Amino acid sequence: MSIEITLTPAQKSLQRETREFARDVLTKVAGATRDIVGPEARAMATKPFYEQLIAAGFMRKCIPVEAGGECTGMIDAAVLCEEFYSVDVNVTTTLIGSVLGLYPVLLAGTPGQIAEFMPPFLAKKGAPLATFCSSEPGGSANSGAPAPAEGVRTQAKLDGGHWVINGRKQWVPTPLGWDGKGADLLTVVCRTDPDAAPEHGVSILAVQRPTPGLVFEHAHDGLGNRSHLSTRFRLDNVRVPVGNVLGGVGNGLKVAEASFTATAALVGVLGVGIMRAAFDFALKFAKTEKRGGAVPIIEHQAVGYALADAKTLIEASRYLSWAACKALDDKAPGAAELAFHAKIYGSECAVKVITSLMMVVGIDSYDHELPLAGLLQDAMVLPLFDGGNMGVRRRQLHSLMKTEGYDPLTAWGGA
Ligand SMILES: Cc1cc2nc3c(=O)[nH]c(=O)nc-3n(C[C@H](O)[C@H](O)[C@H](O)COP(=O)(O)OP(=O)(O)OC[C@H]3O[C@@H](n4cnc5c(N)ncnc54)[C@H](O)[C@@H]3O)c2cc1C
């Protein structure tokens, strides 16, 4: 395996385009949403920005070429995620959440399913939403655990030519869509055989809008991502055609795991993006602020060392996360392990680095007038979502290392 990553001319141009779009459009999201009360109203105010993002073709740039989009691999996704997330987490999370919602189609869908479900997301118009519905009230870290664990509680039962879904989900991005009639596509993790072991009894079903039976329960009021809507909702007798199973009946956990492995590497990249924003601010502050002293505070060794330590962690997170993306593109045997390391390291570095940069800036960083307080709030989601680092990610590495024949060198390709 090569650890060298050289951006192609097309990827350099993607980097330029995403940076310009972030500067021209996404910088305005915070100002347009900050003073709005309530998570739903704040999220609705981001719709015009999301529409611009779709019209500029950035959803297409996240969809693989083989499915009709323009994405050539995970490095493209890393370029886009770092540039967007360093400027705005809210609209960017709506985009990434939609791409996660599409992963079961992209990774496991038949050509017929791809042709049926992808068109709204390939068109450069509107504000299409897909949403991956895995998390459930009462917890979902043990969705693959055998009885007597509850595992996945949402049930789908066959009724003639349809699956009938009943259950509850939470922390799901905008499942009812912008207008309450449903997201364009929901990919719902369901138990399709209550008597089978989870690795054979869980499936992912595609639900298209508009559909009766999606019932709103609660808009989560999160610490960060204040203008990205996460929702608790119910599926009451939601009917989908029998052919809407993605990846085959009973393969749901495998498809979910493959989806979360790809996003794990990207969460590391999101950590880099948000640390980059915090570092840029703290560096400028340190070079310009004297705080009543005779020299800018960067002249003090303690401040210089803190900035140096922060930068080391940012660069290390970037190398690890981008290497994980490249390993996934190369289908390297150690790709999944690298992706989990990237998720854990990039997300936890983000919280640590922003906290230490707040100490560089000092007390004024505690006021939302400056950006660091908000960035810390936003960064806190990174170790918690996409499978919490404690319950899922660390456990996945633990299971891998317990495997007979596990070779620690496989992760970098040196085995
Ligand atoms: C902005 C945002 C976007 C999100 N997007 C989505 C989405 O698109 N789709 C979706 O379905 N969800 C989404 N979520 C929800 C989120 O990704 C998951 O619900 C969350 O990651 C579940 O992880 P958890 O480990 O905290 O689970 P829980 O089941 O709540 O576990 C809680 C805690 O229990 C402990 N624990 C449980 N089991 C074990 C174990 N076996 N070993 C060790 N410790 C254990 C751990 O300490 C763990 O942290 C989103 C959330 C947010 C905030």
For each of the chain's 415 residues, which pLDDT tens digit applies? 567 889 999 999 999 999 999 999 999 999 999 999 999 999 999 999 999 999 999 999 999 999 999 999 999 999 999 999 999 999 999 999 999 999 999 999 999 999 999 999 999 999 999 999 999 999 999 999 999 999 999 999 999 999 999 999 999 999 999 999 999 999 999 999 999 999 999 999 999 999 999 999 999 999 999 999 999 999 999 999 999 999 999 999 999 999 999 999 999 999 999 999 999 999 999 999 999 999 999 999 999 999 999 999 999 999 999 999 999 999 999 999 999 999 999 999 999 999 999 999 999 999 999 999 999 999 999 999 999 999 888 889 999 999 999 999 999 887 6
Predicted local distance difference test score (pLDDT) of residue 37: 96
Question: Is the shortest distance between the CB of 172 and ligand 1 below 6 Å?
Answer: yes
* Gap from CA of 345 to ligand 1 centroid (Å): 17
Q: Which CATH superfamily is domain 9-122 in?
A: Acyl-CoA dehydrogenase/oxidase, N-terminal domain (1.10.540.10)
Atom of ligand 1 nearest to the CA of 135: 11
pLDDT at 284: 98
Ligand 1 atom showing the smallest separation from residue 140 Cα: 29
| Residue 167 parent element (H or E) | strand 162-173
Look up residue 10 and give its two tokens: 């097309």
Biggest alpha carbon–alpha carbon distance for the chain = 80
Ligand 1 pocket member 274 (CB < 6 A): no
Q: Strands 185-191 and 162-173: what pairing?
A: unpaired
Q: Check 76, 364, 386, 407 and give the catalytic one.
A: 386
Delimit the domains of the chain by residue range: 9-122, 130-250, 254-412
| Dist CA 338 CA 318 (whole Å) | 12
- 412 in ligand 1 pocket by Cβ < 6 Å? no
Expressed in angstroms and rounded, the spacing between residue 135 Cα and the centre of ligand 1 is 7
Burial class (CB in 10 A: 0-12, 13-18, 19+), 100: buried
Is 236 catalytic? The answer is no
Is the C-alpha dihedral spanning 186, 147, 196, 110 positive or negative?
positive
CB proximity list for 56: less than 8 A, separation 6 or greater:
21, 25, 124
Chain-centroid distance of CA 292 in Å reads: 42
Two tokens, residue 312: 């080391």
Q: Say which CATH superfamily domain 130-250 falls into.
A: Butyryl-CoA Dehydrogenase, subunit A, domain 2 (2.40.110.10)
Name residues whose C-beta falls within 8 Å of residue 119's C-beta, 6 or more positions apart in sequence. none
Atom of ligand 1 minimally distant from the CA of 387 = 21
Would you state the pLDDT for residue 2?
Answer: 61
Ligand 1 atom closest to residue 131's alpha carbon, by position in its atom list: 8
Distance 92 CA to ligand 1 centre (A): 20
The interaxial angle of helices 301-329 and 74-85, nearest 10 deg, is: 150
If you measure from the C-alpha of residue 392 to the centroid of ligand 1, how many angstroms do you get, rounded to a whole number? 8
Residue whose CA is at the smallest distance from ligand 1 atom 43: 391
At 391 the pLDDT is: 87
Neighbour tally for 345: CB within 10 Å: 19
Report whether residue 133 contacts ligand 1, using a CB cutoff of 6 Å. yes
Give the C-alpha separation, 7 to 299, whole Å: 36
**Hey, CA dihedral for 221, 41, 101, 79, is it positive or negative?**
negative
- Could you tell me which of 294, 248, 272 has the C-alpha nearest to residue 107? 248
Q: For residue 386, report the distance from its CA to the centre of ligand 1, in Å.
A: 7
Q: Is the CB of 140 under 6 A from ligand 1?
A: yes
Residue 410 CA to ligand 1 centre (angstroms): 28
Residue 1's pLDDT is what? 57
Rounded Cα distance, 217 and 263, in Å: 27
Kindly write down the DSSP assignment for every residue of 74-114, as one continuous string.
HHHHHHHHHHHHTT-SHHHHHHHHHHHHHHHHHHH--HHHH
SS3 352: helix
Ligand 1: which of 133, 385, 396 to mutate, judged by most atoms within 8 Å of the beta carbon? 385
Confirm or reject: Cβ of 183 under 6 Å from ligand 1: no
Give the amino acid at 104: P
How far lies 92's CA from each of 96, 251, 288, in Å? 6, 29, 31
Domain 254-412 has CATH 3.20.20.70: no
Three-state DSSP class for residue 38: coil
Write down the pLDDT at residue 4: 80
> What is the pLDDT, as a whole number, of residue 415?
61
How far is the centre of ligand 1, averaged over its atoms, from the C-alpha of 18 (Å)? 30
* Mutational test site, ligand 1, from 185, 205, 386, max ligand atoms within 8 Å of CB: 386
